[in-house]
Amino acid sequence: MSIRSAVLISSGLNAWSSEIEDISATGVLVAKPDNWRGRIDDVFVLDMLIGEALDIHVDARLARVTDTQLGFAYERIPENKEAPLWNLLGGYADRLEPYSA
């Protein structure tokens, strides 16, 4: 069963909306929005809307850019949003994920 999700990516006066493609305890992969203007290592505010009621704001650093995707690494997760994020991820939040390029 898929969960509806969206993300608002913002930096200063710039903002883009997108869809979450994958999420983990350390970062999130989103579809690359049209007119994207960000660079590797720039920090953005991500407002992630997941399902009907979960809204998580995080600061995240742009770690990867492809033709169709953006990969962000969390810089800071507000303390009151840690538990909801871990609950969303289930039993996988404390496990390392293998990286494949």
| Model confidence pLDDT, tens digit, residues 76-86 | 776 776 666 66
Q: Return the structure tokens found at 24.
A: 């983990």
27 closest CA partner among 54, 5, 46, 55: 46
Q: Whole-angstrom Cα distance, residue 51 to residue 11?
A: 24
Q: Whole-angstrom Cα distance, residue 23 to residue 60?
A: 13
Q: Whole-angstrom Cα distance, residue 66 to residue 56?
A: 24
Other beta carbons within 10 angstroms of residue 13's beta carbon come to 5
- Domains of the chain listed by start with CATH number: 5-92 (2.40.10.220)
| Model confidence pLDDT, tens digit, residues 24-63 | 878 899 999 999 999 999 999 999 888 777 778 889 999 9
| pLDDT band (50, 70, 90) for residue 96 | very low
Radius of gyration over every alpha carbon of the chain, rounded to an integer in angstroms: 13
